[in-house]
Amino acid sequence: MDYTQAKQRIEQLRAVLWENSRKYYVENAPTMSDYDYDQLMHELEDLERAYPEYATPDSPTRRVGSDLETGFAKYPHKYPMLSLGNTYSIGEVEEFAERASKSLEEPFTYCCELKFDGTAICLTYRNGKLFRALTRGDGVMGDDVTANARRIANVPETLKGSGWPAEFEIRGEVLMPYDSFDRLNKEREDNEDQPFANPRNAASGSLKLQDPEEVARRGLMCTLYHIPTGQVDFPTHDEALKAAQEWGLPVSGERRLCRNIDEIEAFIAHWDTARKQLPFATDGIVIKINEMDAQRQLGYTAKSPRWAVAYKFKAEQALTPILSIDYQVGRTGAVTPVANLEPVFLSGTMVKRATLVNEDQIEMLDICEGDWVYVEKGGEIIPKITGVEESRRQPGARRPAFPKVCPDCGTPLVRPEGEAKWFCPNIDGCPTQIKGKLVHFLSRKAMNVLAGDATVDQLYNLDLVRTPADFYDLRESQLLILEGWKERSARRFLDSLSESRNVPFERVLFAIGIRYVGETTARDIARHFGDIDTLMGASKEDLTAIPDVGEVVAESVFQYFRDERHRAEIQRLRAAGLRMAVARSGGNASEALAGKTIVISGNFSVSRDEMKALIEANGGKNSGSVSGKTAFLLAGSKPGPEKLKKAEALGVPVLDEEAFRKMLPEGSLPAVGDENGELTLF
């Protein structure tokens, strides 16, 4: 790999890792398994070691993912909340132990604990009472979820006994037990809401609810496992946890002191099997140097402690037969093979189906009808087939024939050049695609209407809805003929439809479901053109002038608006009162940054996403790279050196956050907490 290839791969890996980090921490909807994410992270670490000139302080190898969200007060952590280095290899655990032995002169032991699969929490107790609860946030700042933490049953409001410091932090994990998870998902399905993919996502989403009473109903639990050094005077980590347990704090009892690597490996082997009997999710073992002096001596990297490592269990696997294979049509027309399986219990849930991805994947796995297959839950999220047990294959077993026509409407399938999937091109006539687009239109990130698949099925089957505009013609009397509908449910649905008229144009554009146009692309296109009429008249060249809009997206958008049916649908939605132009800034926003392209780098008093939103709300435009068109580089703490160098070379001004704040109207920046817990308004 030459220098140019290395730089391109490093940039590609960083983009993929940050995007999946956002989906994991912020959206609670990961699309990549933990294992795949970790493998990409290790590849990036190796490349940055081999090409140190491309290493930057803002790389995901040096910063933890952020779960900061709007709607919560933010406070700094007294001590940074770092992430743990992790491995799937016993050999690397042995290397960790060897490094510690070489670095430490005094004898030491290990404290081995379960690695809980939940969402991180930091509790501060002041004078024996719960003072504040913060999420991990970006490791430096956290979201204040104190009101919600108070509603977790095993988090004590007041400590027991004596001997606790006047003020101290203790950290751990908020979990959702399997029973609570199953109950919550059944409720969500009954209400036609999207179920959570796994207990970790459910715990994280529940901790960030705005209603503490609903948090109490979710059945969360907390387990605590770390008091940062310097706050309590105990010689070992284990003794600190024993004291915390005596104070009434929910400390995990499933830990063991180990003297050597053999005892560590025995502990790992035990829990790799025993964890399946636990009432909550675990995904590995954490090995910590037990002695506090040794921890201080080993210290930290930029992202993780050198005195601890996490061994992650490989994804749980099961062997079960394929009963049949279905071919499902998605809202974009993509046809996906799905295996129906003999039900098998895996990672806390009963698995009955697993995706086969596409025709190439079936061929690569060499799957035949009736095969016994190995099933995993990638990162304990999405069931997937990873292999075939050929010894159990029946004589004469046949390979499945991928359909040549759409299984729903019978239209011949097409496979565009460069695509791995087959598609049904009948986008406006295929019933499954139509219903998929309707569900997408109503979804939370689109129009946010209180309805889901079951409602769409009912309305479609009664020929009441065929396009999104049809929703706005519905009357209460029509809804009351639907099975299971009462006046209250009809009114809630109609009220949410009415509220959707206030959804901004960017989300309306996303909601109509143009192929390849996701949330970010829809926002960029909407803000570039300003209104639907200008967009409908745009050429492909106009579209590709937008940063990050390539030929494929431009062609898709251009062709969408060439179809008279789509243009007629836009007019109906406009007539229904939906917003078809970007709203002008209001409230505290201004045009103070109008015409300015700004690059940000480093850490700020608010999250980077909030800083970017602030720039846009005041008329500015964000860019990821410094160029001659950059108005200024906004540099927080620890800005990227490459960006600073480029700004200097091009004569681009560099502003710190204080200077930036002075450019904006008073009250533009959100409130954050200072180190004394007081709110400061910028």
| 560 found inside a domain | yes
Q: Which of 115, 208, 384, 621 is catalytic?
A: 115
Rounded distance between C-alpha atoms, residue 288 and residue 309, angstroms: 7
| 164 found inside a domain | yes
Average pLDDT on 469-497 reads 94
Whether residue 474 is found in the same domain as residue 528 = yes
Whether residue 80 is found in the same domain as residue 106 = yes
Rounded distance between C-alpha atoms, residue 241 and residue 252, angstroms: 9
Partnered with residue 172 across adjacent β-strands are: 121, 224
Rounded distance between C-alpha atoms, residue 473 and residue 470, angstroms: 5
pLDDT digits (tens, 9 = 90+) for 533-592: 999 999 999 999 887 788 889 999 999 999 999 999 999 999 999 999 987 644 446 778
Let me know: does 317 contact 154? Beta carbons within 8 Å.
Answer: no
Report the share of the chain in percent with pLDDT over 70: 91
More confident call, 561 vs 60: 561
The CATH number of the domain where 602 resides is what? 3.40.50.10190
Whether residue 472 is found in the same domain as residue 354 = no
pLDDT of residue 673: 36
The CATH number of the domain where 368 resides is what? 2.40.50.140
pLDDT of residue 672: 39
Average pLDDT on 455-475 reads 96
pLDDT of residue 674: 36
Indicate the residue among 253, 284, 312 that finishes a domain. Answer: 312
Whether residue 31 is found in the same domain as residue 101 = no
Q: What region, left, alpha or beta, does residue 554 occupy, with left being phi > 0 and alpha being psi -120 to 50 degrees?
A: alpha
More confident call, 543 vs 616: 543
Measured CA to CA in angstroms, residue 302 lies from 119, 142, 396 at distances of: 21, 18, 58
pLDDT digits (tens, 9 = 90+) for 359-413: 998 998 999 999 999 998 754 456 888 899 999 999 999 999 999 999 999 999 9
pLDDT digits (tens, 9 = 90+) for 209-255: 878 888 988 999 999 999 987 777 899 999 999 999 999 999 988 99
More confident call, 283 vs 132: 132
Rounded distance between C-alpha atoms, residue 573 and residue 397, angstroms: 52
Q: How many domains does the chain have?
A: 5
The helix (H) or strand (E) run that includes residue 250 is none
Whether residue 261 is found in the same domain as residue 332 = no
Task: Look at residue 12 and tell me whether its pLDDT is greater than 90.
Answer: no
pLDDT of residue 609: 66
SS3 sequence, 606-622? CCHHHHHHHHHHCCCEE
Average pLDDT on 305-328 reads 91
CB proximity list for 524: less than 8 A, separation 6 or greater: 546, 547, 548, 549
pLDDT of residue 574: 96
Active site residue 115: yes
Indicate the residue among 250, 284, 312 that finishes a domain. Answer: 312
Rounded distance between C-alpha atoms, residue 58 and residue 69, angstroms: 20
Whether residue 667 is found in the same domain as residue 527 = no
pLDDT of residue 4: 83
Whether residue 175 is found in the same domain as residue 304 = yes
Its domain, for residue 132, covers 74-312
pLDDT digits (tens, 9 = 90+) for 97-122: 999 999 998 999 999 999 998 999 99
| 590 found inside a domain | no
Whether residue 208 is found in the same domain as residue 96 = yes
Whether residue 543 is found in the same domain as residue 673 = no
Task: Look at residue 605 and tell me whether its pLDDT is greater than 90.
Answer: no
Neighbour count for residue 180 (Cβ, 10 Å) = 21
Confidence (pTM): 0.53
| 65 found inside a domain | no
pLDDT digits (tens, 9 = 90+) for 128-181: 999 999 998 888 888 899 999 999 999 999 999 898 999 999 999 999 998 898
Whether residue 448 is found in the same domain as residue 555 = yes
Whether residue 297 is found in the same domain as residue 323 = no
pLDDT digits (tens, 9 = 90+) for 335-366: 999 999 999 987 667 889 998 888 998 998 99
Indicate the residue among 312, 330, 350 that finishes a domain. Answer: 312
Let me know: does 447 contact 503? Beta carbons within 8 Å.
Answer: yes
Lowest mean pLDDT among 91-95, 272-276, 416-420, 602-606: 602-606
Whether residue 37 is found in the same domain as residue 92 = no
Closest CA to 65 of 6, 119, 117: 119
Rounded distance between C-alpha atoms, residue 69 and residue 136, angstroms: 11
CB proximity list for 595: less than 8 A, separation 6 or greater: 619, 631
Task: Look at residue 668 and tell me whether its pLDDT is greater than 80.
Answer: no
Residue 426's identity, in one-letter code, is: N
| 142 found inside a domain | yes
